Chains A and B, each alone.
Chain A
């Protein structure tokens, strides 16, 4: 096999996916005791023993950050998946349904996109009593719009394709056309859309928790860690904010890159470069 561009992208994609998975698994596997309080080592700056330093209660910030990241990722990914399912249902309903349905759905999408996400998530989360449930509902309810619009556009465009119309004249049923013509075309778009939704959802989870409307303070979510660090910044404990924040940025960028790479690999039309 020659080492060309497509091979490189493919290998890179697999490596990214594995890396993200490993980070996620580490976070899950860290036991509660490991991030227990230890006042003897409270407030230490980064060192070999504690690469990220410790917080005011002496908890190891590296372990806490990893654990926090995996909590955030769980919430983000779960919310994205729910959101993506909403998107595909709404998108197809808009494209295949009557003009009225399409108009109504478009109006809702415009409305949702017009309101800042953060405000909307806080509202939904707050009205559902905060916590995990409220946060999930909030993120899931706000992130489907752009993917739904994309899917609606794709389905509309496909429906007018000559080969679809031919298929109908060759006696194929709507269900058959859906399964054989539409779904294989939509799945790659859907997957890419889904993966590219993760970073958004994770960032929103972090910011809402940071603002105190999301996960409860005892959860080591990344937003909570960052919120706690604020109180100690003036005491000069910079590492409590900088290092976990940096990790959040890194993981979000990694997932974003993964999405772009998946797009390159599965889309046969960006083929020959």
Chain B
């Protein structure tokens, strides 16, 4: 981990979120507790962009809700969250929400359909930010339904950029944007961070995010499986630590487009040991029995027994990758 002297803007340690659910599968009236996030940890400093990667259902969006204190009523969050060293209590969350912590929501449905865009994006920097995001000036007079998907998304991004928040959480800000627009949106997040704010970027577009982020947290089945510097992702699969991160890298269209079989396990059906074990090519019986702890490795963190110290040692992958690259 980067050992910065200053306290992180946000530190999440061992967060778990569970839901009180009715078992709809058999339409019974039975209630059960479903743990959706098992053990998430991450921190983000001022001046930093942290990208959060992982498939849907890995707990990425719930993390945003948990930080803001807007989880549904039937959810229970445990573990510690600290904002600038201060424990995030529901009162504090209410106070910070929208002023100190801003959210770029995932769905364009979060725009009020009955208000013009102008009324929903008030602030004296609006003209500047709209220009940067390539939104025509007339946009302020439009109602949300008159916007295309990509434009609506850029309006959402603008709402967070206009505020003076110190922590911005962007939940999937880029889908539906063209490459140029997505790059421009990410560049503006980068600039905000460079101006001393902290940005959490939850995203599927990992290749884009990695170009602008400082660090990456990879989530799988409600756990942090790896925290890495963004350079490691840019360097390729060998520089990464966890087999899931490597699989993500290899599944990118420009890097082989190779999927791994299987699917992320459900929260109510987690394997006893490592959640990734059933899909992992280098698993051992130990992985199936025992959940690996998070440990520091090569300036990052990883939750795997078999992650190696030096990149060269992961030769099993390096060789095949090198061959494919040629």
Contacts and interface: CB of A to CB of B under 8 A. Distances in A.
User: A and B touching (C-beta < 8 Å)?
Assistant: yes
Interface of A: 1-2, 4, 6-7, 10, 268, 271-273
Interface residues of B, number: 12
Interface string B7-25: 0000000000001111010
A1 B30 CA distance: 6
Contacts of A271: 22, 24
In order of increasing CB-CB distance, the 9 nearest A-B pairs are A4-B31, A7-B29, A272-B74, A6-B29, A2-B31, A1-B29, A6-B22, A272-B21, A2-B30
A41 B192 CA distance: 88
Contacts of B253: none
Nearest to A272: B74
B285 to A, nearest CB: 37
Contact of A272 (B22, B28, B29, B30): B22
A272 B36 CA distance: 15
Contact of B72 (A1, A10, A272): A272
Given A272-B72, A273-B73, 16 more contacts: A1-B29, A1-B30, A2-B29, A2-B30, A4-B22, A4-B31, A6-B22, A6-B29, A10-B29, A268-B24, A271-B22, A271-B24, A272-B20, A272-B21, A272-B74, A273-B74
Contacts of B28: 1
Contacts of A6: 22, 29, 31
B26 to A, nearest CB: 12
Contacts of A2: 29-31
Contacts, number: 25
A7 B27 CA distance: 12
Contacts of B29: 1-2, 4, 6-7, 10
Contacts of A268: 24
25 contacts: A1-B28, A1-B29, A1-B30, A2-B29, A2-B30, A2-B31, A4-B22, A4-B29, A4-B31, A6-B22, A6-B29, A6-B31, A7-B29, A10-B29, A268-B24, A271-B22, A271-B24, A272-B19, A272-B20, A272-B21, A272-B22, A272-B72, A272-B74, A273-B73, A273-B74
A2 B74 CA distance: 16
Contacts of A7: 29
Contacts of B24: 268, 271
Contacts of A4: 22, 29, 31
Interface centre among B21, B22, B28, B29 (most CB of A within 10 A): B29
Nearest to B31: A4
Nearest to B20: A272
Nearest to A268: B24
Contacts of B31: 2, 4, 6
B64 to A, nearest CB: 20
B70 to A, nearest CB: 16
A127 B240 CA distance: 85
A4 B31 CA distance: 7
Contacts of A272: 19-22, 72, 74
Nearest to B72: A272
B25 to A, nearest CB: 12
A273 B31 CA distance: 10
A8 to B, nearest CB: 9
A216 to B, nearest CB: 48
A243 B228 CA distance: 76
A10 B29 CA distance: 9
A272 B33 CA distance: 12
Interface string B36-72: 0000000000000000000000000000000000001
Interface string B87-100: 00000000000000
A156 to B, nearest CB: 16
A273 B73 CA distance: 7
Contacts of B19: 272
B71 to A, nearest CB: 12
Nearest to A2: B31
A7 B29 CA distance: 6
B18 to A, nearest CB: 13
A225 B264 CA distance: 68
A1 B72 CA distance: 24
A209 B107 CA distance: 54
A10 B74 CA distance: 19
Contacts of A10: 29
B99 to A, nearest CB: 29
A54 B30 CA distance: 50
